[in-house]
Amino acid sequence: MEETGEIDDSSFQVPELTPKEELVLEAPLDERSRKETEQFKSGDTEEQLKANSRVNEHGRTERFKDHFESLARIGITVAFGASIVLGVIWVWHIVSPAEWRWLQDKELEHLQNLITGGVLASLASDLFKRRLN
C-alpha cells in the first residue's frame, strides 16, 4: 500500500444494530429526554443553560404568586361582602321596630361578636403586614 495519506475503508465496518437497539431508536422520546435533546441541540453553554433554568424557575414562582394573589383577592372580596351583609343585618336589628326583627337577642349578640371580632382581626393582620414589610 502506498503512503498517500488515505485510510483503507474496507477494514472499518460498522456492525448491524440488534433488534433491541432498533426498537430503542424507534421508540418515541419522553418529554424529559426530548427537552434534554433540545438543550444539547441549542448549542448553549452550561452557564447559559443554568441561566435559562433560573429564568424559567423565576417565571414559575411568579405565576404561583400571581395565582395565590388572585385567590387571596377573591377571599378578601367574599369576606368583605359577607361582613357588609352581616353589618347591615346587625344595624337593621338595632334601628328597626321589634316586630320587624327576626333574630333573637342571643343570636344578635352572636352576630355582634362575629362582626367586631372580624374587624379586630383584620386590623391586627393589617398591623402585622405593615411591620413585616
Question: How many distinct structural domains can be found in the chain?
Answer: 1
How far is the C-alpha of 75 from the C-alpha of 85, rounded, in Å? 15
> In this structure, which amino acid lies at residue 95?
V
pLDDT at 40 over 80: no
Could you count the other beta carbons within 10 Å of the beta carbon of residue 89? 16
**pLDDT tens digits, residue range 71-100?**
988 988 998 898 889 889 888 888 988 888
Is 3 domain-assigned?
Answer: no
Is 34 domain-assigned?
Answer: no
Average pLDDT of the residues of the chain:
81
Is 71 domain-assigned?
Answer: yes
Is 99 domain-assigned?
Answer: yes
How far is the C-alpha of 108 from the C-alpha of 84, rounded, in Å? 15
Is 53 domain-assigned?
Answer: yes
Is 39 domain-assigned?
Answer: no
pLDDT at 42 over 60: yes
Q: Domain residues for 50?
A: 45-132
Average of per-residue pLDDT across 14-31: 74
Instruction: Report pLDDT for 54.
Output: 92
Is 13 domain-assigned?
Answer: no
How far is the C-alpha of 133 from the C-alpha of 27, rounded, in Å? 53
- Identify the band that residue 38 occupies on the pLDDT scale cut at 50, 70 and 90: confident
Is 88 domain-assigned?
Answer: yes
3-state secondary structure of 76: helix
